[in-house]
Amino acid sequence: MTGIALTLRRLNKNKGPTQIFLHAPAMIGGPWLITFLTLGVISLLCESLFSFDTAFLYQTILFNNFSLSLPLCSPIFFIATRYVSDAIIQKKPDRIPGTLITSLFLLYLYMIPIALFVHLFKRETSYFLSYQAILNLLLLSTFWILFSFLNALFNYWLIIFSLLIGFFFNALSSVFLYFPFGTEGMLFGFNLGIGLLCSLVAAVILGMYPYRSNWPKGFTAYFKEYQTLALSGGLVFASFFIDKWILCFSTCGETTIFGLDPSRIYNSSMLMSTLSIIPIMTLSVMKCETLFFKSYLSYFRTFHEKTDYLTLEKKKEVLFERSLEIGRNFLILQGIFTALVLFISPILFEILNINFLQLGIFRFGTLGVFFNALILFTLIISFSFDFRRFLLGIPLAFFFSNLIFSYVSMKLGFPYYGSGYFFSSSLIFLLASVWVISLFKNLNYQVFIKNSLCRR
Amino acid sequence: MSDICLISEGGFPFQKGDVADWTEQLILKQNYTFSLLCLTYTSQPLKYVYPIPENVLEIKTFSLEHLPNRVGFLQKKGPLLSDLKNPLKNFFSEQYLEGFHEIALYFAKYRNKLGRKFLLESKEAWDLLIELYNAWDVKGSFVDFFWSFIVLCRSFYAIFFASFPKSKLYHALGAGYSGLMLARIKQEMNVPTLLTDHDLYGSNRKIEHEIANWFGYPDYFHTPIQKETKTLKDLWMHYFSNATKTAAHWADAIITMHKEKQNSPLFSHADRHKIHLISRGIDVKKFTGVVKDEKGAPTVAFVGVIQPIHDLKTFIRSISILKKQIPYLRGLIIGSLQEYPDYVEECKELVASLKLQDICIFLGDVPTDLFLSKIDLKIHTALREVPELEILRAGAAGIPIIATQTGAFREIICGHTGENPKLGEGGAIVPLSDPVSIADAASRLLTDPNLYTACSYAIKKRIETYYQIQRVEAAYHQLYETYLRNP
C-alpha cells in the first residue's frame, strides 16, 4: 500500500506546474529581424544603386534561400531551443555540444538534397553561381541551428545584436562587391560573411561548453512531445513569406508592367517596407525581455515560493498589465513611425532613386508589416507560456489568410498588390489579440491544467 | 462468478509483503472460489510474484491513476460539474456519508459520459477546484493544494470507473481505496461486504505525510488549525479518515487485528456488533523446530522493507550504541532494497558515517526463515503499525523481540490484559525513534542469559497458544459462511 507515498515522492520532485521558457523573444524575434534586415537592406541598396535587372539574380537567390531555410529549419530550430533551454534548467550543460552536432546532422539529412534540388534543378547562370547558391542555403540553415543555441550563452542579447550588425554589414559589403566581381562575387562575399559568423557562434558555444559530444538523451523524444511546436515554428516563418511566394506566380497570368516582372517589384517593395519596422521592433523585442520577463519570472517564481492563490492572481494581473503596456507602447511608437514613413515615402523614393511604381506596394507593405510585427509580439508572448493551440492556430490562420488574400490581390491587378498582405496581417492581428487576451485572462488554468496536467 | 472477491491496493499476487503473504494463505486455506480486484498505481502490466492458487478464478487490475480518456461531448458542462460540488464538499466534511452516497449516484448516472478531460482538465473542473479552495480557505501553497486535489480526486473518481469481478461476497483488505471500492459495490449491488483493516489506513497515511516532509515546506504544513481554516494536512487527513469511515459504514462486518483498533475513532460511527477481532496467525509448527546456532557473534536483526516508515535509521543508531557494550555484535538488515532507493542510500551513508560497515550487513530481500537460527534478537523500529507476521515467525522460533509501541506489538510481546496464565514478557516495548532505549533493552537481553531464556520461552509459548493459523482460518471460514449463507 505504498501508492500514496510513491505519488507524494513523485510530486516532491515536481519543479512546478510547467516549464518556463525564457528565450522566446530572442528565438522568434531574432531570426525575423536578421532575415528582414538583410533582405531589406539588400533590396534597398540594389534598387537605389543599380538598374532594376542588374542585381536581380543575387536578390532572388538570397530571397529564395532565406525563405526556404527559415521555415525548413524551424522544426529542428525550435526543438533544439526547447531542449537546450530544459538542459540549462536541469543543470545538464554537458548535453549541449552533442545536441548541436545531432541537430546539424539531422538538418543536413534533408537540407543537402533540398539545396541540390533547388539550385541544380534551377540551374543558375553558371556552375560557380549554383555551387555558391547551394552553399548559401546550407550556410544559412547552419546559422539558424547555431542561433537556437544562443540561449545557452550568457549575455546572448549582446551576441544577437552583434549578429544583427554583422548581417547588416555583410549585406552592405556584398552589394558593393558587384562592381569588381559581378553577381558571383556578391554571393561569394555574402557566403564568406555568414561562414565567418557561423564559425564565430560555433566557437563561442563549444568554447563555453567544452564537453564531449554524446548523443543527447531523449532529444528525439522531444520531436514527439513538442510536435506542435515544431510544426508551428515552420508555419510562423512560412506565413511571413507566403505572399511573396504567391506573387512569384503573378507573371503566369499577367503581362509585364512597363517591361518589369511584377513579382520582382512586389518582393523588392515588400522587403524594403520591412525596414520601417526594424528599429522599433529591435528595441521592443529587447524591451520585452527586460520588462515583460521580469514580471514573467516573478509570476513563475510564485510556484517555487509556494504562495497562495491570491498572490498568484495578483502576479498574473501584473504580468497582464505589463504585456499590455509593452504592446501599447509598441503600437503607439510604431504607429507614429509607420505614419511618418507613409507620409514621407515619396520623398524617400526620390532621394534613394527608387522606381515610383513600387510606392503603392511599399505603402501596403509598411502597414502590413506593422500588424505583422504585432502578430509576432503575440506569438512571442504565447511562446513564453507554451500556448500550443495558439502557436499553431495563429500561424496557420496567417499562412492561409495571407495566401488567399495575396492571391485575390494578385488577381485584382497591380494596383492592389500588397493589399492582401495588409488585410491578412490586420485581420490576424485582431484575431490574435482577442485570443491571447482570453488566454491571458485564464492564464492560471492554462498553466496549471493545459500546460501541465494535460501533458502528464 | 466466484464466491468471494478480494479487493486490495497492490499486494497479492503482484507485490511481496506481509499482507500479500496473508492473502495467499487465506486463499489457499479456504474452500471457496476467489476473484481478485487489485487497485494499482500504474497503468503498466504487472507481473505475478506469487503462484496463482487454483481456486482463484479471475484477477482484475485497475489503475487509480487512470481515468477514461473520454472527451464525452457534454452540453452544459458547468451545471453538470456543479452537481458534483456539494457532494465533494460534503465528503471532505462531517457529512462524508451523504457526500459519498451522492457522488456514487452521480457517477452511476453519468459514468458513460464522463472522463479525464471533463473531470480534471476542463475549465469547469478548474473553476470547481478554485471554488473549493476558496470555500475551504486552505492555507499554504496553492501549487501543493492543486497537486493534492488532483491526485486525490483522480484516484477518488477512478474508484467509480473501475469494473469489478462478479462475486457473491466482497472482501476489502484495507480501508483506503479498497474500502471505498467496497462502499461503492455495496451501494450498487447490495451484496455482503467484509472489511479487514490490516493497518489503520488513516493513521498510516498521516505518518506517511509527516515523513514526506510535505514538499520541503513543513512549516505551513504544521500550521495550527484555525477556526474555519484548513491546512493541506487536514485536507489529506480528512480525506483518508472519511474514506475509512465510509468503508466502515458500508461494510457488513469489520475485522480488526487487535483490541486497540476496535476503539479507534475511525470506527466509532460503525455498529459495534459488526466489529470482529481476528488476530493474524502463522503455521507455528514450521518455526518451533528452529535450532539455535550458538556459534558466532551475537546477532540482532531488522526485518522489513527498507523504507522511512520502518525507521531503519533508528536501528542503525541503536547498533552504534550497542556496539560499545557488545563489540562482537552483528546486525543483519533483511528486506527489499528496491522500493525506496533514496532512503536505502541514506541508510548506507549513515552506516558508513557511524563506521558500522563491518557490523551492519544489508542482505536484501532474502527469506527470513533461513536466518532464524542465526538471529538472537529481533528489533522492530517501525513508526506505525505494520503486519506482524515477521514478529510472529521470530517469536515462534523463540527469538525475543524489541518493538516500538505500535499496533498489536504490545499484545504479542507482553500479552493481552485477559491472558491466563500470565506468560511474562517476550522481549521489550520501546518508544518510537529511541535508539538509546533499544540499545539498553538489547544489551540487557544479550548479556543476561536468564532474562533471555525467560523471554524466549514466553514469546514462543504465547505464539503457540494465541496465534495459530488454524484459529484464523476457522474464524474467517465462519464469517464467510455466515455472510454467504445469509446474504
Residue in B134, B142, B176 closest to A307 by CB: B142
SS3 track for chain A: CCHHHHHHHHHHCCCCCCCCCCCHHHHHHHHHHHHHHHHHHHHHHHHHHCCCCCCHHHHHHHHHHHHHHHHHHHHHHHHHHHHHHHHHHCCCCCHHHHHHHHHHHHHHHHHHHHHHHHHHHHCCCCHHHHHHHHHHHHHHHHHHHHHCCHHHCCCHHHHHHHHHHHHHHHHHHHHHCHHHHHHHHHHHHHHHHHHHHHHHHHHHHHHHCCCCCCCCCCHHHHHHHCHHHHHHHHHHHHHHHHHHHHHCCHHHHCCCECCECHHHHHHHHHHHHHCCCHHHHHHHHHHHHHHHHHHHHHHHHHHHHCCCHHHHHHHHHHHHHHHHHHHHHHHHHHHHHHHHHHHHHHHHHHHCCCCHHHHHHHHHHHHHHHHHHHHHHHHHHHHHHCCHHHHHHHHHHHHHHHHHHHHHHHHHCHHHCCHHHHHHHHHHHHHHHHHHHHHHHCHHHHHHHHHHHCCC
State the pLDDT at residue B83: 79
A313, three cell numbers: 492572481
Residue in B145, B147, B174 closest to A14 by CB: B147
Place of cell 509459548: B461
State whether residue B174 sits within 8 Å of chain A by CB: yes
pLDDT at A429 over 90: yes
Q: What are residue B231's phi and psi, to 5 degrees?
A: -100, 170
Nearest CA in chain B to A16: B143
Confidence of residue A124 (pLDDT cuts 50, 70, 90): low
Strands (DSSP E) found in B290-397: 299-303, 330-334, 360-364, 377-380
A271, three cell numbers: 522587403
CA distance B206 to chain A (A): 11
State whether residue A91 sits within 8 Å of chain B by CB: no
DSSP B230: B
* Highest-confidence segment of A21-30, A229-238, B77-86: A229-238
Residue in B64, B125, B133 closest to A3 by CB: B64
Residue B62: strand pairing partners: B39
State the pLDDT at residue B219: 44
Q: Do B139 and A306 touch (CB under 8 A)?
A: no
State the pLDDT at residue B251: 86
Q: Do B212 and A8 touch (CB under 8 A)?
A: yes
Contacts of B176 in chain A (CB under 8 A): 1, 4
pLDDT at A67 over 80: yes
Confidence of residue A18 (pLDDT cuts 50, 70, 90): very low
Pairing mode, if any, of strands B56-63 and B34-40? parallel
- Angle, helices A262-274 vs A227-247, to 10°: value is 130
Residues 6+ positions from A422 with CB-CB distance below 8 Å? A364, A365, A367, A368, A371
Q: Among candidates B251, B74, B91, B62, which has minimal Cα distance to B160? A: B62
Q: What are residue B62's phi and psi, to 5 degrees?
A: -145, 125
Q: Do B9 and A1 touch (CB under 8 A)?
A: yes
What part of A 302-341 touches B (C-beta under 8 Å)?
303, 306-309, 312
Residue pairs between chains A and B whose CB atoms are closer than 8 Å: 79
For range A14-42, the mean pLDDT: 66
Q: Do B216 and A5 touch (CB under 8 A)?
A: no
Q: What are residue B352's phi and psi, to 5 degrees?
A: -65, -45
Residue in B141, B146, B339 closest to A448 by CB: B146
- Provide the mean pLDDT of chain A: 79
State the pLDDT at residue B266: 65
Contacts of A14 in chain B (CB under 8 A): 147
Q: Do B143 and A306 touch (CB under 8 A)?
A: yes
CA gap A229, A94 in Å, rounded? 24
Residue B403: strand pairing partners: B380, B429
Contacts of B208 in chain A (CB under 8 A): 4-5, 8
State the pLDDT at residue A433: 92
Q: Do B146 and A454 touch (CB under 8 A)?
A: no
For range A47-57, the mean pLDDT: 68
Q: Do B126 and A454 touch (CB under 8 A)?
A: no
Residue in A5, A308, A312 closest to B212 by CB: A5
State the pLDDT at residue B204: 53
State whether residue A2 sits within 8 Å of chain B by CB: yes
CA dihedral A421, A427, A433, A434 (to 10 degrees): -160
Contacts of A312 in chain B (CB under 8 A): 142
- Angle, helices A156-176 vs A278-287, to 10°: value is 170
3-state secondary structure of B170: strand
Q: How far is CA B314 from the centre of its chain?
A: 21
State the pLDDT at residue A21: 56
Cis peptide before A31 (omega within 30 of 0): no
Q: Do A1 and B64 touch (CB under 8 A)?
A: no
Confidence of residue A310 (pLDDT cuts 50, 70, 90): confident
pLDDT at A179 over 80: no
Confidence of residue A7 (pLDDT cuts 50, 70, 90): very low
For range A134-147, the mean pLDDT: 89
> What pLDDT, in 10s, does the model give residues A288-303?
666 777 788 888 888 7
Residues B278/B475, Cβ–Cβ less than 8 Å: yes
Per-residue pLDDT of chain B (487 residues), as tens digits, is 888 999 988 778 887 777 888 888 889 888 889 999 888 877 778 888 888 988 888 888 888 888 887 655 555 565 667 778 888 888 877 788 888 888 888 888 887 778 888 888 888 888 888 888 887 777 777 887 888 888 888 888 888 888 888 888 999 988 888 888 998 998 888 888 888 877 545 455 554 554 444 444 444 444 433 334 466 777 777 778 888 888 888 888 888 877 666 666 666 676 778 888 888 888 888 887 777 776 778 899 998 878 887 888 999 999 999 988 888 889 999 888 877 888 888 899 999 998 888 888 888 888 777 788 888 899 988 877 666 777 888 888 889 999 988 777 888 888 877 777 788 888 999 988 889 999 999 999 988 989 999 999 999 998 888 888 888 889 898 888 888 887 6
Cis peptide before B13 (omega within 30 of 0): yes
Q: Do A453 and B121 touch (CB under 8 A)?
A: yes
State the pLDDT at residue B393: 86
